[in-house]
Amino acid sequence: MKINPSMAAAMLLGVPVKAATSGSFNVLSMNVAGLPAFLNGNSVPGDKETNSELIGSKFGQYGYDLIHTQEDFNYHAYIYASDTHPYRTATSGGALFGSGLNSLANYDWLDFRRVKWNTCSDASESDCLTPKGFTFMRLQLSDGVYVDAYNLHTDAGTEEEDLKARASNLQQVADYINTWSIGNAVVVFGDTNSRYTRVADIVPAFLTQSGLTDAQVELILGGVAPTVEVLCDNPSTTNKCETVDKIFYRGSALLDLTATYWAYESGKFLQSNGSILSDHNPITANFTWAAGASLRQSSFFGGAEGTWFSDVPTLSAKTAPKASVLTFKGASRLDSVAITLADGTALAHGGTGGTASTLTLGSNESWVSAQLCQGQKSGKTRNFYIKATTSAGRTLEAGTTTSDCATFTAPDGWAIVGFLGQDGDEMDQLAFVYAPQ
């Protein structure tokens, strides 16, 4: 979360600081042409060390909130040496060893993962020589405000085996989104190696399955994907042309997300003599966000293990959901959490162990705050303890306290009605869903 001077002063004085409920951020996607020169010169003038250092300095100069890079292989150190972003991924290695995917941000994130493609093809390019794939991170825009961000670089080429591999790549991302981003706002951007005007490419099917919108199609092309191929120059002098680099997004019940600007950034990434720095035009988009009107969430607590779950899809289909019964199970650690809503809907997560504790809420009573404590088990961080406090001052607890605890309080006029996080036999990671009462 970005903290301005007044917020920092309030925090130092111990004054509670309310989480922001709206804001904006921008993104940049750039294939930085970082393959070794002897493998691929990319038809870019100049030496790659100097060009990469200049790319990094421009990243810092323009200060994009989230940058995804592709082909960030053997000249990665030059980019980072001149960049100033406070949060950056560690390289996964040069060509033959790494994916070439990295991210630089003004915001911190949770649960960063690298995922290798299940399928690759060398039919027209050497895609199988390096472990290409996609990355996932849960970017934190403010307290309790997250957007799931994906960076990808799919299989290249137009031979039949290339098309099959790329279709598999995009399907793999869609399946991941539909497993790990259930209920969440999402941005996906990078080098798709796909065009709408190539019939065999599956961009429309990918967007439909994932519920995503192409920001360029929405803002620049009037909402209609191109059917006639208009290729871009490099540097591009128009936004009404198509490259394989794309930015997709969707909002959620927790976070309204709106694209407000999209452009090729070619003019900002040139050498002093006007030559290009990469064989790809970098692309940017601006987004505004607002916390949900009917559902919001707390920050996460615990470790990034287990399987993702979210009560948001269930809760978003209801009008004014209200907790009726709370049930927690725990012993030495927190095993499970459950809520039964006033309409009888049961929401439960975690394992089957532990001793159950139950609290039935009164008709005018709501769950307004929760305390969680975390600790280490088998080298992994897990939630050890939970304590619920209601609007009537009653409490329910389970598990064992530790020295590492946090309290989560619903906004005024709201209450806890559900959960999201990651679980297995126990409660690994947990956050709370709030709804107006």
In the three-class reduction of DSSP (H, G, I as helix; E, B as strand; rest coil), residue 207 is classed as helix
Identify each DSSP E strand in 201-333 by its residue range: 213-214, 245-250, 255-264, 283-291, 296-297, 301-302, 307-310, 323-330
In which residue are the tokens 């609290």 written? 359
* pLDDT < 50: residue spans in the chain: 1-17
Is 165:158 a contact under the CB 8 Å cutoff? no
Is 314:347 a contact under the CB 8 Å cutoff? yes
Write out pLDDT tens, residues 266-281: 999 999 999 999 999 9
Q: What is the pLDDT of residue 9?
A: 40
Write out pLDDT tens, residues 353-376: 999 999 999 999 999 999 999 999
Global pTM? Answer: 0.94
Q: What is the pLDDT of residue 296?
A: 98
Helix (H) / strand (E) element for 254: namely none
Q: How far apart are CA 122 and CA 174, in angstroms?
A: 23
Q: Which of 186, 190, 413, 161 is nearest to 280 (CA)?
A: 190
CB contact set of 430 (below 8 Å; sequence gap of 6+): 300, 301, 302, 337, 372, 383, 386, 419, 420, 421
Tokens of 344: 């009888």
Provide DSSP, 180-206: HSTTS-EEEEEE----TTSTT--HHHH
**Do the strands 296-297 and 395-399 form a parallel or antiparallel pair, or are they unpaired?**
unpaired
Q: What is the pLDDT of residue 125?
A: 81
In eight-state DSSP terms, residue 244 is S
Helix (H) / strand (E) element for 178: namely helix 160-180
In the chain the domains, ranked by start, together with CATH numbers, are 19-291 (3.60.10.10), 296-436 (2.100.10.30)
In the three-class reduction of DSSP (H, G, I as helix; E, B as strand; rest coil), residue 436 is classed as strand
Q: How far apart are CA 199 and CA 196, in angstroms?
A: 7
